[in-house]
Amino acid sequence: MFGRPVSLFSIFGFEIKVDMSWLILAALITWSLASGLFPEYYKDLPQSAYWWMGIAGATGLFLSIIFHELTHSLVARHYGIHMKEITLFIFGGVAHMEEDPPSPKAEFMIAVAGPLSSCLLAISSFLLYQLGNNMGWPVTINGVLNYLSWLNMILAVFNMIPAFPLDGGRILRSILWRWKKDIRWSTNIASQIGSGFGLVLIVLGIFYIVRGSFVGGLWWFLIGMFVRAAAQSSYRQILARSLFHTKKVKDLMVVDPVTVPRSISLEEFIRDYVYKYHFQAYPVISFGRLTGCIFLKQITSIPREEWAHQTVGSIALPCNQEITIGPEEDANKALEVMNKTGNSRLLVVNGDELKGIIALKDMLALLSLKMELNDLGKSK
């Protein structure tokens, strides 16, 4: 949401990342626990105790979401789905699946693992809370354990709502998929329910805002917006995968892309290329061969008076895997690279030979035309 996620650590081969928006959630959760929930239920404690409880509660939420998404990832790996990272953001977390589940059974097992893991955490926290009461543990510890037991039970119940992309919606999709043998149709139905559920949350949020509960209403409104957008984008994603799974990168690339000579000055580059084409990155060519890439962000660190004296070749960087792809790669692979790196254009290369450029806008334009003509069932 706020740029490229920051990597925190790895566990069981999965990289755990956090979007900067998570800091907003962490701060809000800590504040609401320390100033609202814990003082309401546990009277006459020092203010510092409430803040430590708030920090512990927010940390428990952080770990609970990681555990929830980690179980999804481990089950997905069991069914042969390649997953490398889990990202936490302001509305929770997401385990990145690079492909669709291979069967309705796999979809069901992957989806149900999340709510079951939250139930397990809820029961474990509750048992520890009971043990703490019997053993006379400090109220600060027992209060946090009680909060985590309720929190995880609420997460389990909420995720079981049959609205895609929530886990319950994925379970519904698996049932419909097994019935109709059609993942696209099943995703469409589950996504429509998810979109409708998101709309209900939006209306509920507006209702609470009008009634005077601005913060609570705003959260329902934002969560509804997120669920609705995620449901709609999930269906578009399945349509895109359906369209592009039979196509190669070479089928969709532009074969005569804009290239930049190594020998021209940065001043010429800015004047004749950047201001004309407005791209963020350009392939650099010498004697018909790809020798590197130049990025617009590189220019910002170079003083304006040096533009006339430095050449493109002097600052060009190697074209790494984040901006290149082979012509024989599956078109869905290009989408995955774009989604992961945030680059909307990839250079299509074979060794040091530039074959063309594949752009996200061109792929989306083709998808839009296919949807308009109801031609997604055809491979050409």
Contacts of 235 (CB under 8 A, 6+ apart): 187, 188, 191
Token pair, residue 132, equals 């703490």
- Peptide bond just before 46 cis, omega within 30 deg: no
Report how far residue 49's alpha carbon sits from residue 157's, in angstroms, rounded to the nearest whole number. Answer: 30
Question: Is 69 known to be catalytic?
Answer: yes
Q: Distance from CA of residue 20 to its chain's centroid? A: 12
Distance from chain centroid for Cα 69:
12
75: its two tokens: 């089950």
Which of 69, 85, 107, 336 is catalytic? The answer is 69
Q: Which residues have a catalytic role annotated?
A: 69
